[in-house]
Amino acid sequence: MALTMRMNLYISNFNSKSIKKVFLLSRPFLVCISLFALSELAALNIGERMIDEARQIVRYKRNWSRQKGFFKNKNDNNKFCILFFGNSTTVSGIIPEVLDEYGSGVTSTYNLALPVLPLAPHYFMLKDYIQNNKIPDYIFVEANILTRSVGRSFRGGVLPNYIIQNAGFIEVLHYVCASGNLHILKSYLVPSMAYKREIRNYFISKALKVLPERFSDLHRKLYIWKLSAKEKYPHNWDFVYNNRFIDHEKRRHEVRDIILKSRGYYEFKEFAIIGGKLPDDFIKPEEGDQARDHKNVQEFDPFIYRFLDLAEKEGIKVVVFNKYLMGGRLKKKNRGYLLLDSIRSINNKILFLQNSFEDCYYEPKYFSDPAHLNNRGAKEYTKNIFEGFKAILENTDGL
Amino acid sequence: MLFNSFQFAIFFIIVYGLYISFNHKWQNRMLLLASYVFYGAWDWRFLSLIVISTVLDYYCGIFIHESGSEKRRKYFLTLSIVGNLFILGFFKYYDFFAVSLKDLFLVFGVPIDPRLLNIVLPVGISFYTFQTMSYTMDIYRNEMEPTKKFLDFALFVSFFPQLVAGPIERAKHLLPQVLNDRKLSLEKFYEGCYLISWGLFQKVFVADNLSRIVDPVFASGPPYNGAKVLLALYAFAFQIFCDFAGYSNIARGLGKCMGFDIMINFNLPYFSTNPKEFWRRWHISLSSWLRDYLYIPLGGNKRGTVIMYRNLAITMLLGGLWHGAAWTFVLWGAYQGFLLILHRLSKPFLSRIVVKGRIAGRIWFFIRVFMFFHLVCLGWLFFRAQSMLQIADMIKAVIFNFDLHNWQNLTLILINLILCIWFLLLMQLFQFIKNDLFYCFKLHWAVQGMIYFLIFYITLTYGVNNANEFIYFQF
C-alpha cells in the first residue's frame, strides 16, 4: 500500500483522479489476489477431503496432545512395558492389543511410531515418557529410523505437509528457524503447495467420473504400470488404484478407525517449541557426529547416540527390528538388513529381532498400499514380531 | 544470487525501497553498489574483472573521441577490443584451446603437455565484455559520444538485472537511460511485475520441470531409445527457451519497475519459418550484436555471394563458440551457419511455392513452422550433448531405434511435457496471432486478472522449489 501510494505520487499530485487511475490500473491485480484467496480456501477444503493416512495420524496426535486427554495409561506396574518406535510402516504394522494377547496379559504395549519422522522426535518422546511414566522394560526400534534419510534429518524433523498439520504460526516459524527450510513456511501459508498431491488426485478422481471410459482405462493402466514397474511384483494392483482414486473416502474412514480403535499412542509434544525454543539437547544438523558424509546410506541419524545412551542410562533394553516389505521387492532395498553389522558396532548391547531381518516379506494381499500393511497383514506381522521377541527372551533372562 | 531465490527477493525489495526514496544521482550510486553486491555474491574476486573492463573502456572511449588522428582512434579501439577479448579468452577459452592443441599435436604423434589453469568461469563474462565493447565501437563509429561520468558508466557496465545473462545492451540505448532522469509510473510498475512473474513462470515452472525430462536422457548412456531422445529434444527446446527468455523477462521486468527500458531478447522464436527469421527472434541482443560488430564489418552481403556465405559461416561459428568452450558449441554454430546459407541458396526455389487461400496459407505456414522447429531441435541436440559421440549415438537412435514398445513410459513423458508447456504455448499463440507481446494488457481487466492468477498460481504451486541456476550463466 505504501509502495502504491509512493508510486501514485509520481503520477501526479494526490487527488481523486489519480486515486481512480490507481484503482483502474490495479483491478486485474485485485482479481488475481481474490482468485488466489479463493483457490487457497478450495485447497484447504480438498486437502481435508483427500487427506492421506500419515497426515491423518500426525493430526490426530496433535489434536489429542492439545486436548490433554489422549494418553490413557493402560500400564499397571506389574506388567512389562514395551514401546514401539518407527515410521509409518510400524504405525500400520504393529497392533499393541494383538501383541498383548500373545503376551498372555503380562505385557503392556504402546505403538509410539510416528509416520515420516526421523529419530529426533522419537528421542524427545522417549525422554518425556520416562519423565512422566514408569520406565519401560523394552523399546523396539525400527532399524530405518536409526539411519539418516538424506534430507530428512536436515528439515528439523518432518516433511512440510506433515509438519504444518494443526500447527500454529509461531510453531511453524520455530521449525523454519531450526531447519532453515523455508519451504515449510511456504507450505503453511499456501495450502496449495502443501496439498499439491491431494489436489491433483481430487481433480483426477473428479475427471475420471466424467471422462469417457477409455481415458479412465488409460489412466488406470498408466498408474498401475508405473506402480508395478517400481514394485517389480506381478500382481493385480487395482486395489491401490481404487484406494487412491475411487474409494478414497472409505479408505480414510478405515484409517481413522484403525487409529482410534486398534493402536495405542502417546502424547506427541512438539519438540521444537518446548519452552518457546529448541531443547538444549537438540542437535543441529551440522553438529551431528554423523553430519559429514550424508551420501552413505549406512550413516546414522545424529540422534542415535543420545537415544541409545538414554535407554542404557535408564536400564531399558533396546530391540532393533526390521520393517516389512512386499515379497517381490528387491532385498537390497531393505536398508535395515544392510545395517545389522553397523548397528552392532555402535552398541553391542542392542538386541535384534532376528526373524524380522531374515523373513519380513509379505504377499500383496496383506497390504493396503505398496508400502503399508492392512489390518490382516498387521496381525500377521505383529505375530511374527512377537515370535521373534519370544526367541530373544528364551536366549536372555526372560521378562 | 539467483533471480528465482528468496535472497534475491529480499535484495530487490531493499534496493527498490531505497531506489524510490533517492534522487537520480543517488539512485545511480546505490544501483552501482547494489550491482557490485549482486555480482560479488557469486565470487567477489571476479569483480576485479568488471572493474578492469569498466576502466579500460571508459578511458578508451574518451581517448577515441578526443583523438584527432584516425591512427590513434584505431589504436585505442584495438586496445579496448584486445583488452576485453583477452579477459574473455583467458578466463573462458584458455583451457579449451590448450586441450585442443594438445589433441591436435597428438594426432601428429607429438605429445605436448600444456599447463591447464582450471579457472572457474566468471559468471556473465561473455555478456558484460560484449556490452562494454559495443560502447567503444559505437564511439569509434561516431554513433555516440562518450560519457565523462565514470560512476554512471560503471553502472551501465554492471547494471545488475542484465549483468550475468543479458540482454547484451547497447551503450546508445542503455547509457542515456542511466545518465538521464527516469520516470516511474504505475503502468510501468505493473508491466514490470507482469514481466517478472512471466519470467519466473518460464524459469521455475516450465524450464526447471522440463529439466527433469531432459537430464536423465542425456545423463544416460547408449543404447538410446529414439522416441525418448526425440521427446527429450522437444523438452530441451522449450527448456532452453524458457530458461533464457525467463531470465531476460525478469531482467526487463526489474528494469521496468525502476524506469529502465531493457531491450526485448526473445520474440516468439519458435514461430519462425526459416533460420533468418529465427535469429531475428532468438537472443536478439546477441544476434544483432554479431550482425553489427562482426558480420557487417566483415563485409556483410555487400561484397559478393561467396564472401557473404563466408561471413555468415564465420559469424555463426564465433557465435557458437561464444556460447561455450566446447566443440559441441562450435558444431552448433556451424550448423546454424549452414542453415542460414542453405536458406539463402534455396530462397529462389522456396519463393516459387505459392499457396492460395486463407486456410491453406495458414496450414502451409504451420507446416513450415513445424518443419523448421525440428531443424532447430536438431541444433539443440548439438548444443545439449556432452560429446560428439553422444550426438552420433542419439541421431542413430532416432533413425534406427525408434522403439515404441515401452509406450507407457513414453506416454508419461509426453503427458508431463504437455502439462509443462500448454499454458506457455497458449499465451504465445495469442501473442503471435495478435502480433503483440503485451497483448495480455489489452484484454478485459477480469481476463487479465485470471491470467495473472494462473501464472502466479502455477509458478508458486508447481514450480521447482530449489533455486536452479540459469543455463546461460555458464556462458
| pLDDT tens for the 399 residues of chain A, in order | 555 555 555 555 556 777 888 888 888 889 999 999 999 999 988 888 877 666 766 666 555 444 443 344 555 667 788 888 888 788 888 888 888 888 887 888 888 787 666 777 778 778 877 877 788 889 999 887 887 654 444 343 445 556 677 677 877 777 677 666 777 788 888 888 888 888 888 888 888 888 888 888 888 888 877 776 665 566 677 777 777 777 776 766 666 666 555 444 443 434 333 344 555 666 554 454 443 344 443 467 767 888 888 898 888 999 988 888 877 554 545 555 666 777 777 777 888 887 777 767 888 778 877 777 877 888 889 999 998 888 888 776 544
3-state DSSP call for residue B416? helix
Is A309 within a domain? yes
- Note the pLDDT of residue A151: 44
Catalytic residue among B323, B343, B405, B444: B323
- Note the pLDDT of residue B119: 74
- Note the pLDDT of residue A5: 53
CB contact under 8 A, A25 and B450: no
Is A363 within a domain? yes
Cα distances (angstroms) measured from residue A324 to each of A54, A148, A264? 17, 19, 20
CB contact under 8 A, B186 and A28: no
Give A191→chain B minimum CA distance, Å: 9
ipTM score above 0.90: no
Closest CA to B370 of B425, B409, B324, B330: B425
The CA distance from A237 to B117, in Å, is 57
- Note the pLDDT of residue B443: 85
- Note the pLDDT of residue A398: 46
Is A381 within a domain? yes
pTM of the model: 0.77
Report residue B349 as a C-alpha cell.
Answer: 526455389
CA–CA–CA angle B105, B111, B116 (5° rounding): 85
Compare all CA atoms of chain A with the CA of B13 and give the residue at the minimum distance: A3
Look up the domain containing A143 and give its range. Answer: 59-153+248-395
- Note the pLDDT of residue A241: 79
CATH number at residue A269: 3.40.50.1110
- Note the pLDDT of residue A68: 41
CB contact under 8 A, A7 and B445: no
Domain ranges of chain B: 35-181, 187-474
- Note the pLDDT of residue B29: 93
CB contact under 8 A, A222 and B449: no
- Note the pLDDT of residue A65: 45
Is A195 within a domain? no
Is A64 within a domain? yes
A351-352 and A317-321 beta bridge pairing: parallel
Residues of A with Cβ-Cβ distance to B465 under 8 angstroms: 183, 186
A36 touches chain B (CB under 8 A): yes
Closest CA to A374 of A231, A257, A225: A257
Is A217 within a domain? no
Is A17 within a domain? no
3-state DSSP call for residue A147? strand
The residues facing A352 across adjacent strands are: A320
The CA distance from A328 to A365, in Å, is 13
- Note the pLDDT of residue A57: 65
Give B261→chain A minimum CA distance, Å: 18
- CB-closest option in B189, B408, B449 to A7: B189
In B146-272, where does DSSP find H-type helix? 150-158, 171-179, 186-200, 208-219, 226-257
Is B405 one of the catalytic residues? no
- Note the pLDDT of residue B353: 81
- Note the pLDDT of residue A239: 75
Closest CA to A7 of A23, A29, A22, A28: A22
Is A226 within a domain? no
pLDDT beneath 70, residues of chain B: 466-475
The helix-helix angle for B358-384 and B388-400 (nearest 10°) equals: 140
Residues of B with Cβ-Cβ distance to A29 under 8 angstroms: 190, 193, 449, 452
The CA distance from A12 to A16, in Å, is 11
Q: Give the best residue of A26, A35, A184, A204 to mutate against chain B (max B CB count within 10 A).
A: A35
